Each structure stands twice: as structure tokens, then as C-alpha cells.
Chain A
Amino acid sequence: MLLSSWWDVRDLGNAVSGLVDALQDAGVPNGVIYSIAALLGCLGIIAFVGATAVINIWVERRLIGRIQVRKGPNRLGPFGLLQPVADAIKLIQKEALQPKSADGVVYSLPPILIFIPAILAFAVVPFGDKMVLADLNVGVLYLLALGSTTAVLIFMAGYASNNKYALLGSMRVIAMLISYEIPSVLALLGVVTFAGTMSLSGVVDFQDTYWSWLIFFQPLAFLIFLLGTTAELNRTPADIAEAESEIIAGFHIEYSGMKFGLFYAVELVNAMGLSAVIAVLFLGGWWTFGVEKVIPGWILFIGKIYAVYFLLIWFRGTLPRFRMDQLMAFAWKFLLPLGLINVLVSAFEVLLWTEYDISAGVILPASVVVNFALAAVLIVGWSKLMMKPFTDVRRRPHLFNEINVPLPGEATPEPAG
């Protein structure tokens, strides 16, 4: 158990609860205490979000550079650390062009409003045992609701630009976002079934109680949610929104200057938010097999967020991009059935556990084995099924040593090699 003294840095909530107790003893009315505590939490979250939005620019560009066998930005400041500052200054001093026929208020609002769901996601994420801003009972559902509001704002941005390519781009993005919400929901349903609660700190407590990370119990859900996250974040391999090598360049084509900068920043903040969700649900959040008694849990948590973010950057650096219809097919025909099967199997396991009073020591390791086996079999088998039209044709070229021109009507003769 962690100490509860206010100076115990391992859980910053100790300081806040110490302050709350002191104020209560001083006789301050409850409403004021509540708002002070809430304000401190908000300040902490906004500080974190602001810091990571700036740092992530550097992390992403440097890391993508290393994946591409080159140094990233290294001119401004040691190791290029002042690059985000330079980017921000550049974007601020650019002229924020607004097309004359763009819809005034509806054009200016999306860059600002789109930050709201991104930052609100951090309200339910537990950074430590007492470091949750709002421990909602329906935390998981709340996160999904925030994701769906982002879709509406992206459409607003595309529509307000009064540019048919921006509109087409934003409609494609909305179709993609909606399609990928469903496998994400099913993956989270598997997690919630196992943990028995929708509140995020409840999920962390579950992992604490049973001394294991949920990723071991729900590997398939982790993979489905990870892929759903890359799609929700509009990152490669699902970044048709910003596909530069296609002419429909996306919903933020008409935005310039700091408005575009805000879209860029919100992409990074969203990435942080969803990485935080994955870290909480699957990687134990602030709980790490007891290490959090030595190193503060919130530092470990931030480390886990960056580990998941590293995965996302790795995807971006290595994989090509899906075509739109292939992306849809991937969501509906691959991730959705896998998610459903995962929910079925998880629900069955939880049923065995609760209804038949099998002890946790038996059912949990058994479910780990079963779930991993299921994940391996499903992924390999289903992808073989989906790739059938692409694997029927031979991939390697034939090698001819002499000239061989097939005449019309003649079948191609068999080559030497």
C-alpha cells in the first residue's frame, strides 16, 4: 500500500487530498473545495497535454527519421529539440487564409472545438491511485462518445471549406471513423466483460487484484483496439484523410497558418489520449507488478503511453497505405467478426468464472492460454482467407534465358526458372 502523506510523490493525488483535508478543517464551504480540487486536476491535465503536444512533434519526426535511415531534425537546438518551437512560430506567423466563400463561423470553429474531445478524454484516465479527475462509472463508454463527436467536427471542417475535394475527403474520413468505431467497441466490450466494470480505475484495480495485465487475458482485443485506434487517429496505414499521393488531400486542405497547426496538434493530442486509454486498459495503467511502489506510478504510466505511441509511429514509418475500400473491408470483414468471436469467448469464460465459482487461480491462466491460442488461430486463418484472391497468383517472376515472345493465341510456354 502506498503511504497517504501529502508529500508522497508516488501519487500526486496525496498532495491534493492533503490540501482538501486542510481546507475542510479550516471550514471552507464544500463547493469551493470541490472546485479547487477540480481546478488543480484540470491544470495538471492541461499541463500534461500541452507539454506532450509540443514534445511529440519532436519525438515523431525524430523517430520517423531514424526509421527511415536518416537523422531527424537536428539543426535547431541540441538534437533538434527546439524544432517544435520553430514549427509553432512558423505556423503562427503564416497568414491564416480564409476562402471568401467559406462559411465564416463554421470555418473558424472546428480547429478550436476539435481540441475539446481530445482533452476531455484525459478526464477519465487514471494517472495514479488517486489521480483521476472524474472517476465515471461509464468511463469506457464516455471515451467512445468522444470519438464519435470528433467525426462530426471533421465533417464541419470539410464542409465549411467550400471545396469539393475537402468535402469528399471529409466524407471518406467519416465513413472510415464510423466503420472503425464498431470493432473498437467490441474489443472494449471484451475488456469490460472481463473486468466487470466500465470505469477505468476499476479496470486498473482489476489488474491490480489479479496481478496481471489485461493484455494477457485479451490479446485479440488489444490488437483489434490498436488497429481501430490507428484508424481513428487517421494514421498510416489508415490515413486516407491526409493521403498526400492522392489528389483528395483531406478535410484540412483549406486551412493554413495556426488553424492548420491546431489540426496537426490535435492529431498528436488524440494519439496521446488513445495511447493512454490503451495503456490503462491493457497495460495496467499506473500499476506495474509492484514497481510503482519504487518509481511513481504516473511516471511508469507516461512511459507506457509513450511505448504505445512508439508502436503507432512504427506503424506509420513502415507500412504503406490502404485503399479506401480495402480499409472498409478490413474493418467490416476482418476486425468485426474477430471482435464478435472475442466477445463470445470472453463472455463464456466470465460465465464459467462467476456462475460456477471456479477459483480465479484456475480460470484466469486457462483463459490466458485459450485466448492467445484463439487469437493466433483466428488471425492467421482469417487473413489467409481474406488474402485468397491475392495469393492465388504466383508472386516471383519467371526467369527466361532467351527471348520468348508469346504469339497471339498461343499460351505462354513454361519458363526455365
Chain B
Amino acid sequence: MVSSVAIKTEPLVVNIGPQHPSTHGVFRMRVHLDGEVITDAEMVVGYLHRSMEKLAEERTWTQNIPFTDRMDYLAAMTGNLSYCIAVEKLAGIEVPERAQYLRVIFAELQRIASHAMANGTFVNDCGAWQTPLFYMFREREKILDLFEMACGARLTLNYMRIGGVAFEPPDEFWPQLQALIDELPARIDEYDRLLLDNEILVMRSRHVGMLSAEMAINSSVSGPILRGSGVAWDIRKANPYCVYDRMDFDIPVGNIGDCYDRFVVRMEEVRQSLRIIKQALVQLPAGSHTANIPLNLIPPAGEVYSAIESPKGELGFYLVSEGGPTPFRWHVRAPSLINLSPLREMVVGQSIPDAIVTLGSIDINVGEIDR
């Protein structure tokens, strides 16, 4: 064969971002190209750093709850929930049953909304001109309407409180929730029919962004990425919190760990969330929606790490208290940041469109990465 010495291609360094055409936020990936093939990739984060962890050290434990809304702004309920559970563990607070069930219902609703956004933008990255995104946004809009009914906000919810939830949902909430649950399975089946067997989608995402189970476990990724690689690990089953140990649901697990598997895992998780909500509605007891905690909460000195399963993965809080009204150390284990650790392995050897699709399938949220 003729050697290609006559045609020299020099490696090209290209920036993907920070102004990303795909809606993932201000994230930057520096990619070394050899022709069309990526040889190396490094990520540059920090464009959205708001020094939340430092600011939290100067505010009381309850005042820090709105910070958790703004980290993963697409899944504010689970952010709130993780923080409140961590503080309750630290302070030894008992949460009433009704509040636990309400927490579960709202967390699962948030999971559905977040996955709708994640899958919609994933198909958008594959090039489908926002049509599936708009379809999935119908459901998200209805869920956000429910949130607005319950706590007055759509995005930065600030609904969970230490010891329960902030407000009892109004009477109009329950029929509307029931209507949503009744109509959602048909919608999910519609998305299944439209998207899951679409040949172009399969061709764009099969064998793209492969992550083996071993690599996934070694990189400590969590959430749909881990499950897409074949590892059936879900914190709701492994270390149950709230009342998840009373719920019966399945963990969807992918086959080979590519982008398509993560996509179908998220779709299936929406179905499982629906199952959980139905069971929670049936089991919902009467009672108070919050434990009465003092306005100025002072947990005993100590440290705690507690994690929950947020839509993006394992969202954990490491809190250190010195016995004062404000935390001494307030650290977040952000799933999006940890999930980006195997990015280089997933992306090297592919072309740029594949890298974009891979990034879309990891479902990062830059607010969480940078805090």
C-alpha cells in the first residue's frame, strides 16, 4: 500500500462549547482531532461556579435548602430531598409517614420530568429538530403545573423541608395527579413506538459511547449510565430511604452500555416511577406533612454522608456540623461531575457527532458540576 506520507494531517484541537448548541449548559470539551477521529478529550468545567459550598457555610441549615434547587435545576425535588435527608440523619429527626410518602411522590414526579428533558435533548442531539423534545415537554409541563400547585414554583421548587415537606398539596392536586397518571402510560407507549425502533436513532446511538460494566464501576459512575452498562444498582434498593423499601419496582438495566441503552433505560425508569407513584397514592396515610422542628435548628456536632438516587445518579451530601446554626462543611457529591470521569474513554476513537451524542446520553447538568 502507498504510505500516506505525502498527505500530512496535523492534529487539530477543537473546542466544543462553552457555548453549546445542544442544551447542556456551559460545558467545554477540548477535543484533539486526527482527521475526523477524536484522539483525546479533556473537559474544562467551572463556567457556572457560584461558590455554593462556601456560601452555604454562612447560612443556617434551613436557609441552605434553596441552594439545592439551583444545583441540578432540572431536578430540584431530589436535590432538596437529598439535603433534607442528610440533615435529618445528622440531627436525628423523625419524619412523619405522610411526609415520607409525599416526598416519594414528588421525587418520582421529578424523575419523570427530568428524564423527559434528558431523553428529549438526547434525540435533539441526534438531530431530530426538537420534535420529540416538544412531545415529551407536554408531560413535563403537566408535572410542572402540579409542582406549581403544590409549592408555587416550577423550576426552583424549595419544597422539601428538614422534617417533611413545606406545604400540604391543595385539594385540586390529587385529581390532576390522578389524571396525569392515567394518561401517562399511553404517552410512554407512544414514545416507544415513535423512537425506540427508529432506525436512524438506532444507527446514531448503537455502539456509540461504549462503557463497559467494569469501567463504569471503576469510575464510580451512577444512575442511568451505570444501569445502562449492565450493573443493576439503585440506591433506592441498595440503601432505601424514605419509604422505598415498601415499594415494589424494577431496575431497568441495559445490555452493552452504549448511548442507546442509556436512552431506553431512562424511558423504562419513567414507567417504574409511575408504578411507584401509584403504589404511594394507594398507601398514602393521613397525618402531618412535616415534623415540627425548631426554627433555629442546631444539630449535634458530627458528620454525615447520605446519598439518594437522583435522576442523574447518586446525589450525596457530606455535612459536617460543629453544633452551630450553620454548617461547618457543606459538600455535594454531584453525580454529573463524577459521571464525566470516563468521558475520555467513551469518546476517544469516535467522530465529533458521536461525541455530541455521547455527551447527550450522559445527561449532565452543569449547575451540579460547578455548583
Q: Do chains A and B touch in the complex (CB under 8 A)?
A: yes
Q: How far is B208's CA from A325's CA once the two chains are assembled, in angstroms?
A: 14
- Verify if B368 is at the interface (C-beta below 8 Å from A): no
Q: How far is B340's CA from A245's CA once the two chains are assembled, in angstroms?
A: 20
Centre residue among B124, B201, B251, B356 by max chain A CB count within 10 A: B251
Q: How far is B199's CA from A290's CA once the two chains are assembled, in angstroms?
A: 40
Contact of B129 among A70, A317, A404, A408 (CB under 8 A): A317
A402 B256 Cβ-Cβ under 8 A: no
Contact of B138 among A69, A320, A325, A400 (CB under 8 A): A69
Enumerate B48-107 residues with CB–CB distance to A below 8 Å: none
Contacts known (A399-B253, A400-B251, A412-B213); A320 close to B127, Cβ less than 8 A = yes
Which range holds the interface residue count of chain B? 35 or more
B200 A395 Cβ-Cβ under 8 A: no
Closest to A168 in B: B36
Kindly list chain B residues whose C-beta atoms are within 8 Å of the C-beta of A149: none
Contact of A68 among B134, B252, B265, B353 (CB under 8 A): B134
A404 B232 Cβ-Cβ under 8 A: yes
Once A and B bind, how many residue pairs between them come within 8 Å at the CB atom? 148
A412 B230 Cβ-Cβ under 8 A: yes
Within the complex, the shortest CB–CB distance from B273 to chain A, in Å, comes to 14
Enumerate B194-237 residues with CB–CB distance to A below 8 Å: 196-204, 206-207, 213-214, 217, 227, 230-234, 237
Q: How far is B242's CA from A123's CA once the two chains are assembled, in angstroms?
A: 73
A400 B214 Cβ-Cβ under 8 A: no
A395 B233 Cβ-Cβ under 8 A: no
Q: How far is B237's CA from A247's CA once the two chains are assembled, in angstroms?
A: 41
- Verify if B338 is at the interface (C-beta below 8 Å from A): no
Contacts known (A399-B250, A399-B268); A393 close to B129, Cβ less than 8 A = no
- Verify if B41 is at the interface (C-beta below 8 Å from A): no
B204 A320 Cβ-Cβ under 8 A: yes
Q: How far is B134's CA from A317's CA once the two chains are assembled, in angstroms?
A: 11
B353 A323 Cβ-Cβ under 8 A: yes
Within the complex, the shortest CB–CB distance from A396 to chain B, in Å, comes to 7
Within the complex, the shortest CB–CB distance from B43 to chain A, in Å, comes to 15
A398 B253 Cβ-Cβ under 8 A: yes
- Verify if A389 is at the interface (C-beta below 8 Å from B): yes
Contacts known (A243-B353, A246-B353, A317-B129); A397 close to B253, Cβ less than 8 A = yes
- Verify if A390 is at the interface (C-beta below 8 Å from B): yes
Q: How far is B197's CA from A412's CA once the two chains are assembled, in angstroms?
A: 25
B128 A406 Cβ-Cβ under 8 A: no
- Residue interface bits A55-92, CB-to-B below 8 A is 1, else 0: 00000000010011110000000000000000000000
Q: How far is B231's CA from A316's CA once the two chains are assembled, in angstroms?
A: 37
- Verify if A324 is at the interface (C-beta below 8 Å from B): yes
Kindly list chain A residues whose C-beta atoms are within 8 Å of the C-beta of B231: 404-406
Enumerate A184-230 residues with CB–CB distance to B below 8 Å: none
Kindly list chain B residues whose C-beta atoms are within 8 Å of the C-beta of A324: 36, 351, 353
Kindly list chain B residues whose C-beta atoms are within 8 Å of the C-beta of A316: 129
Q: How far is B205's CA from A320's CA once the two chains are assembled, in angstroms?
A: 11
- Verify if B341 is at the interface (C-beta below 8 Å from A): no
Contact of A383 among B125, B129, B199, B250 (CB under 8 A): B199
Enumerate A303-332 residues with CB–CB distance to B below 8 Å: 316-326
Q: How far is B207's CA from A387's CA once the two chains are assembled, in angstroms?
A: 13
Contact of A400 among B128, B253, B354 (CB under 8 A): B253
Could you name 8 residue pairs across A and B whose Cβ atoms are closer than 8 Å? A68-B130, A244-B21, A397-B254, A397-B261, A398-B232, A406-B230, A406-B231, A417-B250
Q: Give me the 4 closest cross-chain CB pairs, A-B, nearest first.
A: A321-B127, A404-B232, A400-B232, A399-B250
Instruction: Apart from A323-B353, A387-B199, list 10 A-B contacts with CB within 8 A.
Output: A237-B127, A243-B127, A248-B352, A323-B203, A390-B207, A395-B260, A397-B254, A397-B255, A404-B232, A415-B253
